[in-house]
Chain A
Amino acid sequence: MKRLGRQIRRAGGRASLNKVGMGLRWAALVACVFLFADAPSAMGQAAAPQTEGIKIDGHYGPYLPTDASKDGYRADQLIDVVHWFMIALFVGWGIFFTYCLVKFRARPGHRANPEHIKAKPSKYLEIGVAIFEAVLLLGWSIPIWASVKNDVPPPNDPHAVRIRVVAEQFAWNFHYPGPDGKFGKTAVERINTATNPLGIDRNDPDGKDDIVSGELRLPVNKTIVCEILSKDVIHSFFLPVMRVKQDAIPGMRIPVWFTPVKTGTYEVACAQLCGNNHYSMKAIMYIQNQTDYDAWILEKCKPPEEFDG
C-alpha cells in the first residue's frame, strides 16, 4: 500500500500536495484497489469515459481495417504494393535458396565447385531493388506525405471543421470552438480535471460557447482538421479507420486532416506509451450526418451549470 502511495505521489510530479488533497487521494486510492478493471479516476487523473457495450462499426481482421476516409486509400495502395514487392523478393530468394540446399547437399560423389559464378543476375537484382524503392519513394510515399502535411485546409476555409484534440493521462479531450468558430483562451491555472480539464476561460467571449467533450463527434463528408496537443506526456492520436496517426507532444500543436465518408461509430486509440493506463485511453468517434452533428453542437455549447469558470 505504502509503495503504491509513493509511486502515485511520484506520478503526480514534484509539485507539493496539500493535506486535503492527500486525504482525498488516499481515499480514492483505496477505492481504486477494488475497482481494478477500471481506469482509476482518483488523484485528479483523467479517465476515459466508460465505453463498454458500445458497438463499433467496421471490419477488423488480419489485414487493414475498414477505410472510412476519402484519402486513406492512397496509403493502403502503398501498403499493398510494398507487400507484393516483399513477397516477390522473398519467394524469389526462397526458390533459389531451396534449390541450392537440395541440389548441392553433401552426398557421396558430390563435390564443391568453387569456380567463379557470374555476377550479372545478382547485380540486376540489386539494381532492380534500388529502382523499385526509388519508385515507391517518388511515386507514392513522398507525394502522399507532402499531401498529408501540406493539404491542411487554410485557416479561412469555412467548410473545414476544426477541433483541438488535447491528450492527457488517460483521456482524450476534444475541444470544439462552438458555433462562433473561435477557440476560447485557455490557462493552466484554470485547469480542473473534473470540471474544466482544458482550463478554458468562460468569461472570454470566444470561450463561452466552446465545447469540451470526451467523444469525438464529426459530420460526414466534411474535411476535419484536428490540432493535436498534450497536457503532460507524449501520447499519439490514432484513428485506424481514417489512417491518421499523429503524436501528441507536450509543447507542440500539430495539425492532421482527414475527410470521413462513412457514418458510423469508430474508435480513437492512443498509440504511444503514456503511462500505466495507456491501454485504456480510448475514445469513441461518431461520424454523423450534418443534421445530427449540428444538433449535437447546439445542445453541447450551452455552458454547464456547475461550471467554475
Chain B
Amino acid sequence: MSGHDHGSGRGGHHDHEHDLHHELGFWRKYVFSIDHKVIGIQYAVSALVFLFFGFCLMMIMRWQLAYPGQPVPIIGRFLSDAVAIDGVLRPEFYNALGAMHGTIMVFLGVVPLLVGGFGNYVMPLQIGAPDMAFPKLNMLSYWSFFVGCVVMVAGFFVPGGAANSGWTSYAPLSVIATTGQTMWLLGMVFLITSSLLGSVNFIVTIIQLRVKGLTMFRLPFFVWAQFVTSFLLLLAFPPLEAAAVLQLMDRLAGTSFFMPSGLVVSGVPQDFVGGGNPLLWQHLFWFLAHPEVYVLILPAMGIVAEIITNNTRRPLWGYTTMVYSLVFLGFMSFIVWAHHMFITGMGTQISAFFATTTMIISIPSVIILTCLIITLYNGYIRFNVPMLFALAFLPMFAIGGLTGLPLGLPASDIHLHDTYYVIGHFHYVVAPGTIFAIFAGIYYWYPKVTGRMMNPALGKIHFVLSFIFINTVFMPMFFQGLAGESRRLYDPTVYEHGVQMIGMRKMSSWGAWMLGLSQLPFILNFFMSIWAGKRVTNDNPWEATTIEWLAPSPPPHGNFAKVPTAHRGPYEYSVPGVKTDYFPQFAGAEA
C-alpha cells in the first residue's frame, strides 16, 4: 500500500520543490516522508492502533463495573500488584484506565485520524493540489504527535501508574497526583504542538493551493469541514498548551496557579504558596475542550456529507446553508465552554449567558443534520457499506445532540451533571457518531488509497453487529444518569441507585465486549483486502464527482499527471442532459 510510484514515471514530472529525480531511500520514502499521503497513512494507522488500545482499556474497566470486586478474567493474572490485587482492579488503576481511555480516544485516536489521517490524505487531492503547502511542517506535525503518544503511553510504566485524574485533569487533584500526570501534561504539549502545526498547514493549503475554477463555494463539504476544524484547533489549543505548562509548574516548580491557600491533604497541610484558583484550570481546559468536541464532529460530518451525496446520486440539499452553518458553529463553539462548569458555583447572569449560547449552537447542528436527511429525498439510495455507516450516523448523532439539551440547561443539569447521562450523551456523538463516520470514510476511500475494494460482505456484518452493540452499550447510560449514578465510580454499588442499576451496567459491559468482537471482521477485512481485495477497474469506483477520484488509485507522488481544473460544483449528480448520473467536477464540457 504505497503512496509512491516512482519507477513507472507516471506523475514523474511536477513543478514542485523537492528533488525527487533520484529515488528516495526506504527511510525518506516510508518513514520520514514529506508526502501528504504517506503522512496521512502514518497518522491513520497510528490512530487506529490507539483507538483499539483505548477500547481495550475500556473493556477492562467494564468488567469492574459489571462484576465489582471480582478478578478480571483472562488477563487478571497478568496484572501486576501495582494495578490489581489477585486480578481485582485497584481503584487507582480503574481511575487511570478511565482517564487514559478518554485522553487516548480523543487526542491519540479520533483527532489524528479525522484530521491527520483523512484530512491529510484526502483534502489536497480534493482541491487538486500536488501536496500540502508545507510538506516538511506536515512531517514535523506527525513526529511531534508520535512523541506525544510515546510520552502518554509511558505514563503506564512510571511509579504510580498513568494519569488518573480524569481526561479533564482538574486541579488540585491533578497537581497532587502521581508522576503519571506529569507524563500526561508533557504528552499533551507534544500533541497540541502537532495539531497547531497541522492546522496552520491545512488553512494555508486550502486558501492557496486550490486549482483553477475551484472557488470556495465549489469546495467539497469535506474540505470546508476541515477548514473550519483547523481554525478551531489553531485558536482553541494554545490556552490548553499554556495551561498544561502552568500545571506542570504547579507540580514541579512550586507555583500555585491553580492551588488555593490552606489545603490540607490527608491531615497534612500542603506546602504550596497558595493564592491560586482551581477554577482557572477549568476555564483554560474547557476553552479548548469545547471547540475540541466540534473538532471531533465536523470532519465526521464532512465525510458523511460526501458519502451521502454520492450514494443518493443528487447534490447536497442546502450546500450553502450547510457551509454557513459550519462557520457559525465554529464561531459559537468558542463561547459555550462554561456549560461544563454550571455546578461550580456559577451565578444567574453568567449561567444564563452560557445556556443561551449553548441553545443557539444547537441550531446549526440541527440545520446540518436536517439538510443531510433532506438530501435523501428524491434520491437514488445505494446501500453499500460506506453508505450504511453514513446513514446510521444521522440518527445516532441526533440522539447525541438531543441529549445535550437537558445538560445545556443549567436547571436540569443540576441533577444530570457528572452522571452517566453525560457519558451517554457524548459517546453517542463520538462513538456511533464520529466513529461510524470514520468507518464510512475508510470503506469509501480505501480503493483510492490501495487500488482495491474492501470485502462488502464482511463490511455489512461489521456494520450490523456494530450498530446493535454500540446502542447496547450506550443507551442504558441515560437511564443510569437519570437515576443519579455518577461517573468515574469504581464501584457504583456503594450507592442504592448503583445497586438498582446493576442490570444496566451489565448490559453495557456485555455490549462493549461484543462490540469489541464485532470489530474483528473489520480488522480482518482491512488487512486482508490490501493483498486480496478486489482490484478496482477504474480510478472512480463509486462514480463520484470530487477531484480525488481523478487521481490514480493509489496516487503517485505529486498526485495528478496533469493539473486538474474545476469546471463546476462538487456534487453535480443526476444533471439533466448528461448521459451518466454524475458529472465530475474535473471533467471537461462533456462527461
Chain A residues with Cβ under 8 A from B165's Cβ?
A: 273
Q: Which of A56, A122, A236 has the most CB of B within 10 A?
A: A122
B521 at the interface (CB under 8 A from A): no
Query: How many angstroms between the C-alpha atoms of A89 and B165 in the bound complex?
Result: 37
Q: A105-B383, A122-B370, A279-B91 are in contact. Are A145 and B411 (CB under 8 A)?
A: yes
Interface string of A82-99 (1 = CB under 8 A from B): 110110011001101100
- Beyond A111-B380, A114-B378, A273-B170, whether A64 also contacts B482 by CB under 8 A is yes
Once bound together, how far apart are the Cα atoms of A142 and B69, in whole Å? Answer: 43
A90: chain B residues at CB < 8 Å are: 395, 398-399, 402
> Is there a chain A Cβ closer than 8 Å to B434's Cβ?
no
Q: Does B119 count as interface, using CB distance less than 8 angstroms?
A: no
Q: Are B269 and A276 in contact (CB under 8 A)?
A: no
In contact, A62 and B176 (Cβ under 8 angstroms): no
The residue in chain B whose Cβ has the minimal distance to the Cβ of A74 is B411
- Are B574 and A82 touching (Cβ within 8 A)? no
Say which one of A155-163, A206-214, A216-224, A237-245 lies at the interface with B.
Answer: A237-245
A93 to B315 Cα, complex, angstroms: 20
B403 CB to nearest A CB, Å: 7
Asked if A205 is at the interface (CB within 8 A of a chain B CB), the reply is no
CA distance A282 to B485 in the complex (A): 13
A12 is contacted by which of B265, B373, B484 (Cβ under 8 Å)? Answer: B265
B379 in the interface (beta carbon within 8 A): yes
Q: In the bound complex, what is the Cα–Cα distance between A19 and B508 (angstroms)?
A: 48
Closest B residue by C-beta to A241: B484
Q: Is the CB of A191 within 8 A of B267?
A: yes
Complex interface: chain B residues within 8 A of A74 (CB):
411
Within 8 A of B (CB), among A241-278: 243-247, 249-252, 254, 267, 269-278
Q: Which of B18-26, B184-192, B270-278, B449-457 contacts A (4 or more CB under 8 A)?
A: B270-278
Question: Is B374 at the interface (CB under 8 A from chain A)?
Answer: yes
A residues less than 8 Å from B161 (CB atoms): 7
Please determine whether A7 and B395 come into contact, CB atoms closer than 8 angstroms. no
Name B484's contact: one of A37, A126, A240, A278 (CB within 8 Å).
A240
Distance of A215 from chain B, by nearest CB (Å): 16
B 39-81 to A, binary, CB cutoff 8 A, 1 in contact else 0: 0000000000000000000000000000001000000000001
- Bound Cα distance from A144 to B414, whole angstroms: 11
Q: Which of the residues A60, A136, A245 comes within 8 Å of B343, measured between beta carbons?
A: A245
Interface bits B277-315 vs A (CB < 8 Å: 1, else 0): 111000000000000000000000000000000001111
B351 within 8 A of A: yes
Quick check: which of A127-135, A175-183, A291-299 contacts chain B, the rest being far away? A127-135
Q: Are A271 and B486 in contact (CB under 8 A)?
A: yes
Does A31 interact with chain B (Cβ within 8 Å)?
no
Instruction: For A44, list chain B residues within 8 Å (CB).
Output: 266-268
Q: Which of B176, B394, B409 interacts with A137 by CB under 8 Å?
A: B409
Q: Mark each residue of chain A from 1 to 42: 1 if its CB lies under 8 Å from any CB of chain B, else 0.
A: 101101100111111110000000000000001001100000
Residue on A with the closest CB to B348?
A: A146
A43 at the interface (CB under 8 A from B): yes
Residue among B90, B263, B355, B362 making CB contact with A250, cutoff 8 Å: B263
CB of B494 within 8 A of chain A? yes
- Judge whether A129 and B415 touch: CB under 8 Å: no
Indicate whether B516 reaches chain A with its CB closer than 8 angstroms.
no
Task: Give the distance in Å from the alpha carbon of A45 to the alpha carbon of B176 in the complex.
Answer: 14
Would you call A145 and B376 a contact (CB within 8 A)?
no
Q: Is the CB of B574 within 8 A of A111?
A: yes
Inter-chain contact A267/B495, CB cutoff 8 Å: yes
Q: Are A13 and B265 in contact, with the CB atoms below 8 A?
A: yes
Q: Once bound together, how far apart are the Cα atoms of A252 and B263, in whole Å?
A: 12
- Give the residues from 321 to 345 in chain B that come closer than 8 angstroms, CB to CB, to chain A: 343-345
Q: Within 8 Å CB of B410, what residues of A?
A: 141, 145
Interface-located stretch among B136-144, B222-230, B496-504, B525-533: B496-504
Smallest CB–CB gap between B510 and chain A, Å? 18
Instruction: Known contacts A14-B270, A249-B278; decide if A243 and B178 are in contact (CB<8 Å).
Output: no
Judging by beta carbons under 8 Å apart, are B345 and A246 in contact? yes
**B134 at interface (Cβ–Cβ under 8 A)?**
no
A300 CB to nearest B CB, Å: 22
Task: Please tell me if the beta carbons of B415 and A274 are within 8 angstroms of each other in the complex.
Answer: no
Q: Which chain B residues lie closer than 8 Å to A93 at the CB level?
A: 369-370, 373, 394-395, 398
A199 to chain B, nearest CB (A): 8
Whether B467 sits at the interface, judged by CB under 8 Å, is: no
* A192 adjacent to B267 (CB under 8 Å): yes
Residues of B in contact, count (CB < 8 Å): 113
In the complex, chain B residues whose CB is within 8 Å of the CB of A149: 347-348
Contact of B260 with A by CB under 8 A:
yes
Closest to A10 in B: B178
Q: CA–CA, A10 to B160, complex, Å?
A: 9
* Residue tally, chain A, CB below 8 Å to B: 111
Within the complex, the shortest CB–CB distance from A281 to chain B, in Å, comes to: 9
Q: Per a CB cutoff under 8 Å, which of B173, B483, B487 touches A274?
A: B173
Query: How distant is the Cα of A236 from the Cα of B417 in the complex, in angstroms?
Result: 10
Instruction: Evaluate contact between A279 and B490: CB separation under 8 angstroms.
Output: yes
Partner of A188, one of B92, B264, B369: B264
Q: Closest A residue to B403 by CB, please name it.
A: A86
Complex: how many Å from CA A280 to CA B265? Answer: 17
Closest to B484 in A: A240
Residues A65 and B419 in contact in the complex (CB < 8 Å), given A6-B159, A250-B263, A271-B486: no
Of the candidates A58, A105, A279, the one whose C-beta lies within 8 Å of that of B491 is A279
Interface residue B249 (Cβ < 8 Å from any Cβ of A): no
State whether B176 touches A13 (Cβ < 8 A).
Answer: yes
Interface residue? B177 (CB, 8 A): yes
Contact across chains for A43 and B344 when beta carbons are under 8 A apart: no
Kindly list chain A residues whose C-beta atoms are within 8 Å of the C-beta of B489.
Answer: 278-279
In the bound complex, how far is the Cα of B170 from the Cα of A232, in angstroms?
A: 12
Query: How far, in whole Å, are A102 and B550 apart by their CA atoms in the complex?
Result: 32
- Known contacts A10-B176, A234-B173, A238-B486; decide if A272 and B270 are in contact (CB<8 Å): no
Q: Which residues of A contact B260 (CB under 8 A)?
A: 250-251
Task: Answer whether A271 and B380 are a contact pair too, CB < 8 Å, given A65-B484, A82-B405.
Answer: no
Does residue A61 face the partner (Cβ distance < 8 Å to B)?
yes
Contact of A7 among B160, B402, B497 (CB under 8 A): B160
On whether the beta carbons of B411 and A148 are closer than 8 Å, the reply is: yes
A7 and B92 within 8 A (CB): yes
A270/B486 in contact, CB under 8 A = yes
Task: Indicate if A185 sits at the interface (CB-CB under 8 A).
Answer: no
The residues of A that contact B482 with a CB separation of less than 8 Å are 62-64, 79
CB distance from A285 to the nearest CB of B (A): 12
Task: Give the chain B neighbours of A83 by CB distance below 8 A.
Answer: 406
Which residues of chain A are near B484, meaning CB under 8 Å? 60, 65, 238, 240, 269
A273 touches B581 (CB 8 A): no
CB atoms of B278 and A3 under 8 A apart: no
Sample of 15 more A-B contacts, CB < 8 Å, known A61-B483, A96-B373, A145-B410:
A78-B411, A82-B412, A83-B406, A86-B405, A100-B373, A112-B314, A112-B379, A114-B315, A122-B370, A267-B496, A269-B484, A273-B165, A273-B173, A273-B488, A275-B95
Residues of A within 8 A of B (CB): 1, 3-4, 6-7, 10-17, 33, 36-37, 43-46, 56, 58, 60-65, 74-75, 78-79, 82-83, 85-86, 89-90, 93-94, 96-97, 100-101, 104-106, 110-115, 117, 119, 122, 125-126, 129-130, 133-134, 136-137, 140-142, 144-146, 148-150, 168-169, 188-189, 191-193, 231-234, 236, 238, 240, 243-247, 249-252, 254, 267, 269-280, 282
**B interface residues, Cβ below 8 angstroms from A:** 69, 81-82, 85, 88, 90-92, 95, 159-161, 164-166, 170-173, 176-179, 260-271, 277-279, 312-315, 317-318, 343-345, 347-348, 351-352, 355-356, 359, 362-363, 366-367, 369-371, 373-374, 376-383, 391, 394-395, 398-399, 402-403, 405-406, 409-412, 414-419, 479, 482-484, 486-492, 494-497, 499-501, 504, 573-575, 581
Question: What are 10 A-B contacts with C-beta separation under 8 Å?
Answer: A14-B271, A112-B573, A136-B409, A140-B411, A141-B409, A142-B348, A142-B352, A267-B497, A273-B170, A274-B173
List 3 A-B pairs, minimum CB-CB distance, nearest first: A251-B260, A44-B267, A240-B484
